[in-house]
Structure 1
Amino acid sequence: MTFDNKVIWITGASSGIGKALALELSKQQCKLILSSRREHILQEVKNECQQPENVKILTLDLADYKNMTSVAAKAISLFGNIDILINNGGISQRSLIIDTDIEVDKKLMDIDYLGTIALSKAVLPHFISLKNGHFVTVTSLMGKFSSPYRSAYCGAKHALHGFFDALRLEHDKDNIKVTMICPGFVNTNVARNALIGDGSSQNEQDTATENGLDVNVFAKRMLKAIKKEKFEAYIGKSEILGVYLKRFFPKLLHKVVLKSQVR
């Protein structure tokens, strides 16, 4: 698979992984739709792209998941079609279960899960009509195993795997692909923006995130996985071993995570 002449829609494109993907893809012969809540930041990202004439911006709030049909229609109208939807937008969380208000759990599910699947369901009829399409969803290693301080985040990310595994099965006949991207620690602002128990932002960096994979290296590896149309890709450093420990030695993983004291 090649990105040449493809129309690629990226959510969460104003910073972090989404911005890195946009800048990397702008070097290729494809058209981009960049979405997030902040139009002025998207415009800055567009201006940094190598071929800004091939980039359109479309504001999007994943929390407004009941209005995704109209947003998807606008996106399709920008270039006439969409070939790849990269579901990258979302938020994280850093708080103990006992300290986390239920509204924080709801917000994570509204944005990370319902917002993402509502947007994907809005695009799905277009992919079916084309008999082609590719959903790429950025979840997390926390969608495969869990960690303290991330209960709501883990719940939402696990749910995404359940939904998109079903979508892949239902629409194999329509030539629709699904790739789940599971990052480990990536050096972005995801920890700073993470919600704590009362719903406010953490506003500080995690040591593990600070020492995580460079976001530009991550973007290159992610695009390779998309080109190969992988079902799942685990991208990070040694933390990706947790996926295999969970599968074969779950009690050992439990002990390893407890000893790691990760926040």
Structure 2
Amino acid sequence: MSEFLDKVVWVTGASSGIGAEVARQFSLSGSILVLSARNEDKLKDVQKSLKNPEKSFVLPLDLEKSENFAQKVDEVIAKYGRIDYLVNNGGVSQRGEAADTPIEVDRKIMEINYFGTVALTKAVIPVMRKQQSGHIIAISSIAGKFGFYWRSAYSAAKHAIQGFFESVLLEEAKNNIFVTIAYPGKINTPISLSAINAEGKAHGVMDHNQETGMPVDVCVKKLIKAISKKKKSVLIGNKEIKAVYIKRYFPSLFWKIIKKQKPV
């Protein structure tokens, strides 16, 4: 899409899954990519896979270390002079019942998925205000629409993401800054491998829900189409996204269906 040509697109969680595919597809459109995640080596591998790797910048970033975000923003501005799109994709999932999960794990998930994302967005908004343009994308989850087994902290963080970014959407419209919140369902990514269990360790298993989910390239095509249309929100997935509408219009039926679903 020509509208993305030479636009600066900053993607967090760009080392794998949805984030890596977002980078690849924006690169096909001629965008300039800023690739962020904790693992620099994986980011470099993603960079090599881009159509235009020379139009990209690897910028390691840890969402738990928000004290560095102003510096990270300065690095992007020093290199490219602007930030057109911020894709808040970085995060971690969860596998474990709420009662068995230490509060430290809840805090860690909230720090990464909510506070880290919020802090980076707050660091970027002044740049977009100065430009009087920009588009912020928040990758939530279908778990941001309703709670689910083994996802208490993850679901809570994603619910919080919706509240924060809907507020930003309203507040920053006067500054020509757009917001799109995406709610992916079951997508074929390795997210379950690094999900945090009740012991605070990596789940380490590729769940059935991910293995049988929508191909990640299809998911990202739908996401980028929504971004292009400046949609305020978009549900992405297969039949599982129907649960959002069932809960809204037929809540009793929703609870009968959801309690029979498997957590993995």
TM-score, structure 1 as length reference: 0.97
Aligned pairs (5 A) from 1:55-94: 55-94=56-95
Note the residue ranges of structure 1 that are not aligned, 5 or more in a row. Answer: none
Counterpart for residue 30 of structure 1:
31
**Cα offsets for 1:181-202 (capped at 9, x unmatched):** 1100111110111010010011
Residue 22 of structure 1: CA displacement?
1.1
Q: Percent identity?
A: 43
Counterpart for residue 152 of structure 1:
153
**Which letter maps to 1:115?**
G
**Cα offsets for 1:26-49 (capped at 9, x unmatched):** 111211100011111111111111
Aligned pairs (5 A) from 1:107-256: 107-256=108-257
How many residue pairs are counted as aligned between the two chains? 263
Residue 76 of structure 1: CA displacement?
2.0
Helix, strand or coil at the partner of 1:244:
helix
State the 4+ residue runs in structure 1 displaced beyond 6 angstroms.
Answer: none
**How well do the aligned residues superpose, as a CA RMSD in angstroms?**
1.1
Counterpart for residue 101 of structure 2:
100
Contact 1:145–1:242, Cα closer than 8 Å, also in 2? no
**Which letter maps to 1:253?**
F
**Cα offsets for 1:147-175 (capped at 9, x unmatched):** 11100000000000000011111111111
Distance across 1 between alignment mates of 2:44 and 2:242: 38
Residue 236 of structure 1: CA displacement?
0.3
Contact 1:92–1:190, Cα closer than 8 Å, also in 2? yes
**Cα offsets for 1:62-102 (capped at 9, x unmatched):** 01123311111112222111100000000000101111111
Distance across 1 between alignment mates of 2:218 and 2:205: 23
Distance across 1 between alignment mates of 2:256 and 2:148: 11
Helix, strand or coil at the partner of 1:85:
strand
TM-score, structure 2 as length reference: 0.97
